[in-house]
């Protein structure tokens, strides 16, 4: 759907509110967005921005609260993602992942249109002034004003393939940006090619546009796949792209703003400080983009992300999208029974939780073995394997099993010492790049147990009472005179290794049974 | 002065909006338990069921008495002891521990509400009380989910009162869980060795101070009645039982008196236990009832076990944690804060400490594990003192981002294994010993503490103040 339709859709189902009060781009907007991210609140559209020159800001666009505590809005980290991709807002995690798994196999090429709202206003060369727009200064100690929801579009040196990725950029002057292109990222490697040849890399930064574009750009899409095609896959319809004005890169025709330019070879400037997941990243030398043109809609609605604060847009999106990529690899490259994978937002994506069904002894060793090799792709350094009868949207149950069912001894699956890996973006105890080791917890029922009597049934509302009593209690709740709205969890009997309901005794004393 | 008996406690809860009465007829067979299971999930109020199916008017049940909101598990307990629950965990814990340090001996009175109705011998039929069937798959009707079971040691001058589950085998025989290591079970095995019966009394519907004291793990030889007196800052009032010379709370709703014969066993269970899973069925000793006494229109307290955020979950944070803290402080560890993760229902204690050296940390870890209640636990999390220990969300972040592989410590398998250890095979249960895991997420003094990325660290105080006002004004309606 188009970007502005997306904002309207969010508003109509209570997932976005408009703030009429005037707000300043200097920390106020980011503070409010950070608060909404923390409270599990709606997206915030700041319609009146001081010195905005007609532009407005929108934050917490894809954020959503973790599933540890109940929240009355029923929001999850994937609620607004679901809406962006055209799904029902209350879709279950499993359903969303299974749908995305199917769809990502059917890439859809974007279509080229001659022009779009993204080029309603065109400013070239001397007319270019980044400071005309209310790009926020997010936090007190930041190195400058930032674009945090921009997607960088580039092509490789020989023009064979294109790449989109979300990266932040700091405003350096009225026509320069320092772009946080990490050398090891796909864009970084493409830029290295240009630098080798001593040539500048044409690029575009776009803000807004079909939300599927931002979603795909934030996902760990496989190398060689253009995020625009993956975006088309997610929504099963082609993105509409327009060509940039000063170069031939393609960007969403309905983008709010496109910043076109070139990344200069051999030039580096200090970018930062700016917070990341587990640290306030210090200023680092990063490539510089000379801006040749800015095209935008009239009165653009500029998105931004209060990055680093739980739960930021990227945390919410990656918790699902990285999990889908991991699950795809498990399903297509192994025969392991992994029902679901989730990277909890509560732990800033540092833990990968997998719902497993270990149907032979040693099964989980292979799961941890396989997933450990994908750590860098999804940024985690810890693995938590739980039984597949736990709903991934139920962190409470995950925590309980983590406490109760972990063997208090280090066993075969506990350490992945054989696989050296480096600290990533979620490791607070080591600098990025330092060698570390994975921690694996296997909290599944023992995989040598075959007998049903070893698998103890869970105690919960869904398993300790017959279905008709559950329905009765829920439907009579207000009749009883009790407050609030009861919540039933999604539990599928086919998921449990043991019984969903515990075995019934035929004779229970005091319930028409025989005395012993 | 906070001497409140059970009905006064219900009043206190009601006046503060923490109790709802259900006048609709509710079935003791699973329905009451289902309602409470949902109440726990919704962090709801205590519930008084005024009409129970198959039972005469006036026979009632009350549940969710001690469960609490996730971020304030001690709420109802604090109300029962006359402490303000909204002052935060540290304040609750300090006051609780201060009262633990000043036990008050009980006084004996001549009469009490518990003697209003006296049933002896054949008349003492447990099914006259609305004991519930708590989970599908339970081996019997578990009337004993919040009992205070009083027993005296046959040799030592020691009376123990503790919370031990029981189910009804028939009108006059109850079955319970006698786990070695628990004080009552150990006493029973001494009686059995001497070939003697162990007299017992169970009190249900007692002063909240006594329910709380019975949930506390005290050293061998300590008396929960004294502790309860200290917690309510007034002596408990006790009367003599009818059929034995044990002393019972005078104003209890229900008293069950009897004896446990040596060498008698009946199969007890299964039961949905606090770890969230059904236990197995095992032969256990038998409580034989000699008398039941109760108030008119008795209220049976119930605490359906195993459901997330129930009374046990709240008690682990509200009671177990302060007690473990108290014991650690006696060992000389003054600058630590103890808590339990409420989602993990008793099984995952957390200790917050300021940065300390490896040696001191080692001493702390040893001290924590040697506290007797830790005997049934096998996980421990250590965090820095600037972590909000009452926020499971923050603890999950710490576990994910600050735990390194080398700092997961495994202890030798030399601790008694919990009977309900979910990960253990039958053989391991029979062997009876297990190890423990300690997750060390503490920053050493020479290390750089990882930075928190939150509103509090990213913005100046003025901006935070603006934010608070803005949020009230423009967003939270």
- Residues A465, B34: C-beta atoms closer than 8 Å: yes
Of the three residues B252, B277, B300, the one that is the final residue of a domain is: B300
CB pairs < 8 Å spanning A and B? 314
Contact A446 B279 (CB under 8 A): no
User: Which of these ranges, A171-185, A321-335, B427-441, B447-461, has the smallest mean pLDDT?
Assistant: B427-441
Same structural domain, B111 and B148: yes
DSSP label at residue A354: E
What is the average per-residue pLDDT within A393-416?
Answer: 79
Cβ contacts (< 8 Å) between A459 and chain B: which residues?
135, 272-273, 276-278, 305-307
Query: In chain A, which residue's Cα lies nearest the Cα of B444?
Result: A429
Task: Please say if the pLDDT value at position A516 is more than 50.
Answer: no
Residues of B in contact with A34 (CB under 8 A): 455, 458
Nearest CA in chain A to B277: A458
- Within a domain: B83: no
The predicted-structure confidence for B309-348, as pLDDT tens digits, reads as follows 999 889 988 988 888 888 888 888 888 999 999 888 778 9
From the CA of A422, how many Å to the nearest CA of chain B? 12
- A481 vs B24: CB contact, 8 Å cut-off? yes
Position B1 scores a pLDDT of: 66
For residue A464, how many C-alpha atoms fall within 13 Å in the half-sphere facing its CB?
32
Show the domain range for B214.
102-300
- The residue in chain A having the minimum alpha-carbon distance to the alpha carbon of residue B400 is A350
Q: What confidence tier does B416 reach under pLDDT thresholds 50, 70, 90?
A: confident
Query: Distance (Å, rounded) from C-alpha B401 to C-alpha B452?
Result: 11
Together in a domain, B292 and B319: no
Q: How far, in Å, CA of B401 to CA of B448, rounded?
A: 14
- Please say if the pLDDT value at position A454 is more than 50: yes
- Any residues with CB less than 8 A from the CB of B55 and at least 6 apart, and which? B28, B130
Is residue A408 scored above 60 in pLDDT? yes
Query: Span A346-352, mean pLDDT?
Result: 95
Distance from the Cα of residue A247 to its chain's centroid: 30
B275, closest residue in chain A (CA to CA): A404
B384 within domain boundaries:
yes
Cβ contact B392:B341 at 8 Å: yes
Instruction: Chain A: give the shortest CA distance to residue B24, in Å.
Output: 6
Do A15 and A79 meet the contact criterion of CB atoms below 8 Å apart? yes
Of A52, A28, A33, give the one whose Cα is nearest residue A299. A52
Instruction: Name the percent of chain B lying above pLDDT 90.
Output: 71
Q: For position A410, what pLDDT does the model report?
A: 72
Express as a percent the part of chain A with pLDDT over 90. 72
Q: Which residue of B44, B270, B396 is in closest CB contact with A347?
A: B396
How many residues are given for chain A?
Answer: 516
The span from the CA of B157 to the CA of B28, in Å, is 39
A415 by DSSP, 3-state: which? strand
Q: Residue B259: is its pLDDT beyond 60?
A: yes
Distance, CA of A68 to CA of A70 (rounded, Å): 7
pLDDT of residue B471: 93
Over the stretch A236-260, which tens digit does the pLDDT of each residue have? 999 999 999 999 999 999 999 999 9
Among residues B236, B265, B300, the one where a domain terminates is B300
Q: Identify all chain B residues contacting A422, using CB atoms and an 8 Å cutoff.
A: none
Q: For residue B467, give the nearest of A31, A399, A477 by CB distance.
A: A31
Q: How many domains does chain B have?
A: 2
pLDDT value of position B224:
92
Chain A: closest CA distance from residue B109 (Å): 36
Q: Which of A403, A470, A502 sits opposite B34 (nearest CB)?
A: A470
**Separation of alpha carbons A65 and A340, rounded Å:** 19
Beta-carbon separation of A409 and B413 below 8 A: yes
Q: Is residue B271 part of a domain?
A: yes
Minimal Cβ distance to A504: which of B136, B280, B401: B136
Instruction: Determine the Cα–Cα distance for residues A317 and A311; give it in Å rounded to an integer.
Output: 10
Residue of B nearest to A514 (CA): B170
The reported pLDDT for the residue numbered B241 is 96
Q: Are residues B262 and B221 in the same domain?
A: yes
CA A366 – CA A472 distance, rounded (Å): 44
Q: Is-contact A261 A251, C-beta < 8 A?
A: no
pLDDT confidence tier of residue A420, bands split at 50, 70 and 90: low
Residues B321, B390, single domain; the answer is yes
Residue A513 has pLDDT above 70, yes or no: no
Q: Which residue of B has its CA nearest to A440?
A: B405
List CB contacts (< 8 A) between A346 and chain B.
392-393, 396-397
pLDDT interval class at A413 (50, 70, 90): very low
Mean pLDDT across the stretch B219-240?
91
Query: Which one is predicted more confidently, B423 or A495?
Result: B423
Strands of B19-26's sheet in order across: B19-26, B46-52, B60-63, B299-302
Pair B356, B252 in one domain:
no
> Smallest CA–CA separation between A54 and chain B, in Å?
21
- Nearest by CB: B400 against A426, A474, A508: A426
Identify from B64, B270, B400 which residue to disrupt to test chain A contact, counting A C-beta atoms within 10 A and taking the largest count.
Answer: B400
Which chain A residues are Cβ-neighbours of B38 within 8 angstroms? 461, 473-474, 477, 486
Q: Which residues pair with B293 in a beta bridge?
A: B118, B255
Query: Which residue among A351, A438, A516 sits closest to B266, beta carbon to beta carbon?
Result: A516
Give the whole-angstrom CA distance, residue A268 versus residue A275: 20
- Inspect the interface and report whether the beta carbons of A28 and B44 lie closer than 8 Å: no
Lowest mean pLDDT among B99-113, B367-381, B397-411: B367-381
Residue of A nearest to B271 (CA): A459
Euclidean distance between CA atoms A371 and A385, whole angstroms: 11
Q: B149: distance to nearest CA of chain A, Å?
A: 22
Report the distance separating Cα A314 and Cα A320, nearest Å.
10
Domain spans, chain A: 3-303, 334-448
Is 60 exceeded by the pLDDT of residue A514?
A: no
pLDDT over 50 at A515, yes or no: no
* Facing B435 at nearest CB: one of A351, A408, A476: A408
Query: Which residues of B fall within a CB distance of 8 Å from A350?
Result: 397, 400-401
B259 and B140 share a domain? yes
Q: According to the per-residue pLDDT averaged within each range, which of A429-438, B102-111, B211-220 is highest?
A: B102-111
Q: Do B450 and A382 touch (CB under 8 A)?
A: no
Instruction: Name the residue facing A399 among B38, B344, B410 (closest C-beta).
Output: B344
Pick from A31, A348, A505: CB nearest B455: A31
What residues of chain A lie within 8 A of the CB of B144, using their CB? none
What pLDDT, on a 0 to 100 scale, did the predictor assign at position B327?
85
- CATH number, domain at B318? 3.40.1670.10
My answer on whether B387 and B407 are in the same domain is yes
Name the pTM for this structure.
0.92
Q: Do B353 and B243 share a structural domain?
A: no
C-alpha to C-alpha distance for A235 and A251, rounded to whole angstroms: 17
Short-list A302, A106, A102, A86, CA closest to A215:
A86
B315/B287 same-domain check: no
CA distance B437 to chain A (A): 5
Q: Pick the closest to residue A23 from A70, A1, A55 (CA basis).
A: A55
A31: nearest CA partner in chain B: B467
Distance CA(B187)–CA(B263), nearest Å, equals 14
With contacts defined as CB-CB under 8 Å, which chain A residues touch B35? Answer: 473, 480, 482
- Let me know if residue B409 belongs to a domain: yes
CB contact under 8 A, A459 and B276: yes
Cis peptide leading into residue A273 (ω within 30°): yes
Residues A189-215: what's their mean pLDDT?
96
String of DSSP letters for B51-120 = EETTS-TT-EEEE-SS---TT-TTHHHHHHHT--GGG-HHHHHHHHHHHHTS----EE-S--GGGSEEEE
Task: Return all residues near A48 (Cβ < 8 A) that are at least 6 apart.
Answer: A19, A20, A21, A22, A23, A56
The H or E element spanning position A153 is strand A151-155
Task: Report the pLDDT value the prediction gives residue A475, as an integer from 0 to 100.
Answer: 95
CB contact under 8 A, A139 and B29: no
**Greatest C-alpha distance within chain A:** 95
| Fold adopted by A3-303 | Pnp Oxidase; Chain A (2.30.110)
- Check CB contact under 8 Å for A34 and B24: no
Rg (CA), chain B: 23
pLDDT band at A419; cut points 50, 70, 90: low
Instruction: Name the residue in chain A with its Cα closest to that of B274.
Output: A459
CATH code assigned at B250: 2.30.110.10
Question: CA of B155 to nearest chain A CA: how many angstroms apart?
Answer: 33
Q: Is the peptide bond before A311 cis (omega within 30 degrees of 0)?
A: yes
CATH number for domain A334-448, candidates 3.40.50.150, 1.10.3720.10, 3.40.1670.10, 3.30.460.80? 3.40.1670.10
Residue of B nearest to A442 (CA): B423
Mean pLDDT of chain A: 91
Same domain? For B326 and B294 the reply is: no
At A264 the three-state DSSP class reads strand
Task: From chain A, pick out residues whose CB is under 8 angstroms from the CB of B347.
Answer: 400, 403-404
- Short-list B278, B283, B390, B301, CA closest to B342: B390
Is pLDDT at A377 greater than 90 in this prediction?
no
Q: Is residue B42 a part of any domain in this protein? A: no
> What are the start-end ranges of the E strands in B226-367?
237-240, 247-249, 254-260, 266-268, 282-284, 286-294, 299-302, 336-340, 349-353
| B28 close to B259: Cβ distance less than 8 angstroms | no
CB contact under 8 A, B42 and A446: no
Does A472 contact B31 at a Cβ distance shorter than 8 Å? yes
Region B263-279: mean pLDDT is 91
Q: Is residue B1 part of a domain?
A: no
| CA distance to partner chain A, nearest, from residue B146 (Å) | 18
In chain A, which residue's Cα lies nearest the Cα of B434? A408
């Amino acid at each position: 759907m188009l970007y502005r339709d997306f904002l309207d859709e969010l508003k109509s189902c209570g997932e976005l509110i408009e703030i009429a009060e005037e707000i300043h781009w200097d920390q106020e907007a980011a503070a409010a967005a950070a608060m909404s991210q923390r409270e599990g609140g709606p997206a915030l559209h700041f319609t009146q921005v001081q010195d905005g020159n007609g532009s407005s800001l929108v934050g917490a666009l894809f954020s959503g609260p973790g599933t540890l505590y109940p929240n009355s809005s029923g929001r999850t980290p994937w609620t607004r993602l679901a809406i962006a991709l055209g799904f029902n807002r209350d879709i279950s995690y499993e359903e969303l992942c299974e749908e995305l798994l199917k769809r990502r196999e059917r890439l859809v090429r974007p279509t080229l249109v001659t022009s779009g709202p993204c080029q309603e206003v065109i400013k070239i060369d001397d007319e270019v002034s980044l400071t005309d727009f209310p790009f926020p200064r997010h936090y007190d100690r930041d190195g400058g004003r930032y674009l945090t929801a921009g997607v960088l579009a580039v092509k490789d040196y020989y023009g064979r393939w294109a790449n989109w990725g979300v990266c932040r950029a700091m405003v350096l002057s009225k026509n320069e940006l320092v772009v946080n292109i990490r050398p090891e990222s796909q864009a970084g490697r493409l830029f290295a090619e240009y630098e080798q040849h001593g040539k500048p890399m044409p690029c575009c930064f776009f803000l807004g546009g079909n939300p599927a574009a931002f979603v795909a750009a934030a996902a760990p899409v496989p190398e060689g796949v253009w995020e625009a095609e993956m975006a088309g896959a997610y929504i099963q319809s082609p993105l509409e792209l327009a060509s940039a004005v000063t170069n031939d890169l393609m960007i969403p025709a309905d983008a709010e703003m496109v910043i076109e330019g070139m990344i200069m070879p051999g030039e580096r400037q200090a970018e930062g400080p700016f917070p990341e997941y587990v640290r306030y990243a210090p200023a680092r030398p990063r490539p510089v983009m000379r801006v040749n043109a800015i095209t935008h809609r009239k009165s653009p609605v500029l998105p931004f992300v209060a990055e680093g604060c739980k739960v930021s847009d990227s945390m919410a999106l990656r918790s699902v999208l990285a999990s889908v990529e991991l699950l795809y690899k498990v399903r297509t490259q192994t025969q392991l029974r992994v029902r679901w994978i989730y990277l909890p937002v509560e732990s800033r994506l540092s833990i990968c939780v997998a719902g497993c069904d270990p149907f032979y002894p040693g099964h989980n060793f292979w799961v941890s073995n396989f997933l450990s090799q994908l750590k860098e792709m999804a940024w985690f350094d810890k693995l938590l394997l739980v039984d597949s009868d736990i709903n991934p949207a139920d962190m409470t149950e995950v925590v309980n099993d983590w406490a109760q069912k972990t063997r208090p001894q280090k066993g075969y699956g506990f350490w992945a010492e054989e696989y050296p890996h480096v600290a990533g973006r979620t490791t607070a105890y080591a600098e990025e790049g330092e060698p570390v080791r994975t921690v694996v917890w296997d909290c599944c029922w023992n995989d040598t147990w075959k007998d049903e009597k070893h698998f103890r049934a869970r105690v919960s509302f869904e398993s300790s009472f017959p279905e008709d009593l559950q329905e009765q209690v829920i439907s009579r709740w207000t009749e009883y005179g009790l407050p609030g709205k009861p919540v039933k969890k999604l539990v599928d009997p086919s998921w449990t290794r043991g019984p969903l309901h515990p075995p019934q005794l035929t004779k229970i004393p005091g319930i028409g049974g025989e005395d012993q | 002065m906070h001497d409140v008996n059970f009905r006064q406690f219900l009043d206190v809860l009601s006046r503060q909006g923490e109790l709802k009465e259900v006048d609709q007829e509710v079935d003791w067979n699973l329905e009451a338990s289902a309602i409470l299971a949902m109440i726990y999930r919704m962090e709801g109020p205590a519930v008084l069921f005024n009409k129970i199916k198959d039972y005469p008017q006036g026979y009632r049940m009350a549940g969710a008495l001690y469960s609490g909101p996730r971020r304030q598990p001690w709420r109802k307990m604090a109300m029962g002891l006359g402490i303000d629950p909204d002052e935060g965990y540290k304040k609750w814990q300090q006051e609780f521990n201060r009262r633990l340090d000043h036990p008050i001996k009980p006084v004996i009175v001549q009469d009490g509400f518990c003697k209003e109705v006296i049933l002896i011998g054949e008349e003492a039929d447990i099914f006259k009380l609305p004991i519930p069937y708590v989970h599908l798959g339970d081996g019997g009707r578990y009337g004993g989910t919040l009992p205070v079971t009083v027993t005296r040691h046959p040799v030592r001058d020691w009376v123990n009162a503790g919370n031990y589950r029981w189910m009804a085998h028939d009108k006059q025989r109850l079955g319970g869980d006698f786990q070695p290591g628990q004080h009552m079970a150990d006493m029973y095995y001494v009686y059995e060795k001497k070939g003697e019966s162990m007299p017992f009394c169970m009190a249900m519907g007692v002063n909240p101070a006594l329910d709380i004291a019975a949930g506390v793990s005290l050293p061998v030889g300590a008396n929960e009645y004294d502790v309860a007196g200290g917690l309510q800052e007034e002596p408990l009032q006790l009367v003599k039982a009818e059929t034995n010379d044990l002393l019972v709370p005078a104003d209890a709703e229900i008293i069950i008196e009897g004896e446990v014969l040596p060498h008698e066993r009946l199969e007890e269970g299964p039961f949905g236990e606090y770890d969230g899973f059904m236990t197995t069925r095992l032969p256990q000793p038998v409580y034989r009832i000699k008398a039941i006494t109760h108030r008119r229109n008795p209220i049976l307290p119930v605490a359906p076990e195993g459901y997330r955020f129930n009374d046990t979950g709240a008690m682990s944070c509200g009671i177990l944690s302060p007690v473990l803290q108290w014991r650690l402080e006696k060992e000389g560890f003054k600058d630590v804060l103890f808590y339990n993760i409420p989602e993990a229902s008793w099984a995952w204690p957390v200790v917050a400490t300021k940065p300390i050296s490896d040696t001191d940390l080692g001493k702390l870890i040893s001290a924590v594990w040697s506290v007797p209640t830790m005997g049934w636990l096998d996980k421990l999390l250590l965090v820095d003192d600037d972590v909000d220990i009452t926020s499971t969300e923050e603890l999950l972040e710490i576990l994910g981002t600050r735990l390194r592989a080398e700092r997961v410590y495994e202890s030798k398998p030399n601790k008694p294994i919990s009977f309900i250890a979910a990960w253990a095979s039958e053989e391991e249960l029979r062997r009876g010993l297990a190890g423990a895991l300690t997750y060390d997420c503490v920053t050493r003094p020479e290390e750089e503490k990882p930075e928190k990325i939150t509103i509090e660290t990213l913005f100046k105080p003025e901006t935070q103040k603006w934010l608070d006002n803005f949020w009230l004004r423009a967003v939270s309606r």
